[in-house]
Amino acid sequence: MRYLPLILKNCWRNRRRTILTIASIGVSMCLLGVMVSMYHAFYMGAPAPDQAVRLVVRNRISITQPVPLSYRQRLQQFPGVQVVMVANWFGGVYKDARDPKNQFARFAIDPEKLFQIYGEYRIPEDQKQAFLRERTACVIGRDVADSLHLKVGDRLPIKGDIFPGDFEFTIRGIFDSPSASQVMYFNREYVEQSMSERRRGFVGLYYMRIDDPAHSGRIAEAIDSEYHNAPYQTKTENEQAFVVGFLALLGDVKMFLFAISAAVMFTILLVSANTMAMSVRERVREIGVLKTLGFTNGAILGLILGEACAISVAGGLLGYLISTFLMQVVAKSPVGGFLPAMPLIEIPVAAACIAIAAAIGLISSLVPAAGASRLSIVEALRSTD
């Protein structure tokens, strides 16, 4: 520890190189940070309090297959279930679908249940009442309103594809949500009217609010086993698992994250190893002098390893900071709606980033450091380079 000032001095003597190395590691580490935060949010993160009490019931075969409307009554009676809401993925096209701004999620739902299920949505009471009163009313998320410059009272024409027909909605409310809100909700009955007799009586999904997140596993199991022998089997999962399942439709997300992370880590390893090799090579004579002064081989090893760690941890920190900023951008983008809400600073993610950086620093400097510490004094002093 008493060598710490010496290590820091050594880091700082070739400023340009140190800064370039830190920047290089930082940029790569920020990618790694994004990957780790996404992985954490998808597969390990505890769901946000509002999300943890939401369960989604879908057809076991696929989310594109319907579930009978008749299940609603029974679902409400399961102990622990407080509210059950029907949600149909509406699809549809708004103006020109090729413009990504026009692609927001649209759900046909039970208006009176919406704000009970999504307790975190904030909407003025008068707007909410107006939405409940009118059959052709809709509410949209703040993000949709902002990107399309829509306001309360505007008309929103949607051409249906899954539910054929031309629908015209009136915006009666705009709600705020802590996560991205590229979404529109409207009354299921408006759509139901236009459907053929045969298709009525089926719904896409059930959203449920339960009393305690700790009961979610038990409730999900109870529901799925109830319908195990029914013609329409169900799959019940919490909202987070449902979202991850939805993302799986895009491809093997896990493998994608792993592949990118591995490539990034290996690149950082190369960059850091290269820097350390360069700085050791320049200092061979100096190492001879240090040894003459009585520094042991171990101390020299420690000095060089410490220097590498200091630089890569600095890079790791910088990278993590950039990644939190990037994650905010990601969360606000249209994809963000699919992501679970993420707090600004996630301690495990930060710890993982810095630990990875330190480990990379250590590994990368092992070879040059070992070489330097084993150098004999005479040889080192004789070196002219």
Partner 1 sequence: MAIPIAYNLRNLVVRKTTTLMTALGIALTVAMLLAILALVNGLRVTLTASGDPLRIVVVRQGSDSELVSNFVRTQFQDIKFKPGIATGSDGQPLASLEMVTIINLSRENDSDVNVNVRALLGVGRELRPNVHIVSGRWYQPGQREVVVGRMLAQQHEDAHLGKNIRFGRGEWRIVGVMDGGGGSTDSEIWADLNQVSSDMQRVEILSSVTLKAVDAVAAKALINDISNDQRLDLSAVSEQEYYARQTSSADPIKFIGIFVAIIMAVGSSFAAMNTMYAAVARRSREIGTLRVLGFSRGSILLSFWMEAVLLSLLGGLLGCLLALPLNGLTTQVGANFATMAFAFHVTPEIMAVGLVFALVLGSLGGLFPARMASRKEILTALREV
Least distance in Å: CB of 257 to partner 1? 10
| Of positions 245, 286, 358, 359, contacts partner 1 by CB under 8 A | 245
Nearer to partner 1, 131 or 320 (CB): 320
Distances (CA, A) of 80 to 48, 49, 212, 214, 323: 19, 16, 7, 10, 39
Selected range binding partner 1 among 86-94, 122-130, 141-149, 206-214, rule: CB under 8 A: 86-94
70 part of the interface to partner 1, by CB under 8 A: no
Q: Burial level of 233, CB count in 10 A (0-12/13-18/19+)?
A: middle
210 strand-pairing partners: 81
CB 362 within 8 A of CB 305: yes
CA–chain centroid gap for 6, Å, is 40
Among the listed residues 30, 303, 317, 354, the single contact to partner 1 using CB under 8 A = 30
Tell which one of 161, 189, 211, 221 touches partner 1 (CB under 8 A): 161
Distance in angstroms (rounded) separating the CA atoms of residues 301 and 297: 6
Alpha-carbon distance 383 to 282, whole Å? Answer: 10
Q: Residue 173 has which token pair?
A: 């409310």
| Binders of partner 1 in range 321-380 (CB under 8 A) | 335
Q: Residue 236's CB: how many other CB atoms inside 10 A?
A: 25
Q: Which is nearer to partner 1, 125 or 197 (CB)?
A: 197
Residue among 6, 52, 69, 93 that touches partner 1 (CB under 8 A)? 93
Binding to partner 1 by CB under 8 A, coded x per residue (else -) over 50-69, reads ----------xxx-xx----
| String marking each residue 120-159 x if it binds partner 1 according to CB under 8 A | ---------------------------------------x
Cβ–Cβ under 8 Å, residues 89 and 253: no
Contact 78, 222 (CB under 8 A): yes
Our finding on whether 225 is near partner 1 (CB under 8 A) is no
The C-alpha atoms of residue 51 and residue 69 are separated, in whole angstroms, by 24
Cα 57 off chain centre by: 23
Shortest separation between residue 126's beta carbon and partner 1, angstroms? 34
CB 85 within 8 A of CB 208: yes
162 binds partner 1 (CB under 8 A): yes
Q: Does residue 101 interact with partner 1 by CB under 8 A?
A: no
* CB nearer to partner 1: pick between 100 and 124: 100
Q: Pairing relation of β-strands 137-141 and 165-175?
A: parallel
Residue with tokens 């979610």: 216
Number of residues near partner 1 (by CB under 8 A): 53
Taking residue 248's Cβ as centre, other Cβ atoms within 10 Å add up to 11
Q: Which two tokens stand for residue 86?
A: 């029907």
- Enumerate residues 249-268 that contact partner 1 by CB under 8 A: 249-252, 254, 256, 259-260, 263-264, 266-268
- Which parts of this chain interact with partner 1 (CB under 8 A)? 16-17, 20-21, 23-25, 27-28, 30-31, 60-62, 64-65, 91-93, 97, 159-162, 164, 196, 198-199, 231, 245, 248-252, 254, 256, 259-260, 263-264, 266-268, 270-271, 273-275, 277-278, 335, 385
